[in-house]
Structure 1
């Protein structure tokens, strides 16, 4: 059994490149989508929950209180473009392209995908605008992550994490 299998923590994959969290504080590849929370450029108290579905590139963007994004009218808005850019920084362009099923060979001049080439491939497919049903769970996960940041550093177990098997538990 390796050290990480005996540990009560999971390995964390380091970001592909460092990123600034002010514009896109939360980004994830989950539930068959690229999804996350993007800060408003005009109102410090407003955030947008944006997502792009893998394969179909169906997209959605709305505020945290389900008001539709004014820029997402038949095409990707700036929030979605920022989300794609930050996802590339966090996960790497190849992983993002693979997750979204975006074939970028023709769009990237040197064959290496970029945030712009991924966005171009998906935009060329003329993706439909979808509903914002995914916004609530994504925003809820974002708030949960924020709550963990407010905890004081400790080696004590967290009650909600105790469902993880311990190293000494009999299998």
Structure 2
């Protein structure tokens, strides 16, 4: 029997490359979406909850106060572009593209290229329904930072890069 089959812990995938947690503290491929939290460039107390649906590329971007992003009018805003970039660093651009069902045509692409391919597929549509769930998951994950340090794996934190990955 393979070793992974006899373990009760989740295998943690190392990030493809280190990413900036201050810019995008939370990114995940879940619920049929690329979703996460992106820090505001102008206000330290504000974050944006952004998501892109797989296949349809419906997107959502709003502040932590549930106000719509001013830049997400008919196309991806800079927060969504940043989210895709950071997801490509965390998971690899190929995995992100495969999850979102973006046709790569055998090319080696970056996160920016994945976002551009989604734009080329047609004008993305807004989807305001995802923000509350994404932000709630982020806040729940933040509670783990209050736990005492341990070497025991915590499966819910598989998305959180190790301290070595922080830049």
Q: Verify same fold: TM over 0.5.
A: yes
2:164 maps to none
Match for 1:125 among 114, 121, 126? 121
1:112 to 99, 108, 113: 108
> Please, which runs of 5 or more residues in structure 2 have no aligned partner?
157-167
Cα displacement (A) at 1:24? 0.5
- The answer for the alignment partner of 1:90 in structure 2 is 90
Q: 1:148 aligns with which of 118, 127, 144?
A: 144
In 1, Cα distance between the equivalents of 2:13 and 2:2?
17
Cα distance in structure 2, aligned partners of 1:31 and 1:79:
19
Please tell me whether the aligned partners of residues 23 and 39 of structure 1 are also in contact (alpha carbons under 8 angstroms).
yes
Answer yes or no: is the 8 Å Cα contact 1:56–1:127 preserved in 2: no
Q: 1:127 Cα shift?
A: 3.1
**Greater relative contact order, per chain length (Cα 8 Å cut-off, separation 6+):** 2
Do the aligned partners of residues 62 and 154 (structure 1) sit closer, same or farther apart at CA in structure 2, a change above 3 Å counting?
Answer: same
* Deviations, residues 31-83 of structure 1 (Å, cap 9, x unaligned): 11111000011110011110111111111100112100001011110000000
1:8-46 deviation digits (Å, cap 9, x = unpaired): 422111111111100100001111111100001111001
- Structure 2 partner of 1:135: 131
Number of equivalences: 155
Q: TM-score, normalised by structure 2?
A: 0.84
Q: What runs of 5+ residues in structure 1 fail to find an aligned partner?
A: 162-171
Give the structure 1 partner of residue 165 of structure 2: none
- Alpha carbon RMSD of aligned pairs, Å? 2.1
The answer on 1:66 being equivalent to 2:66 is yes
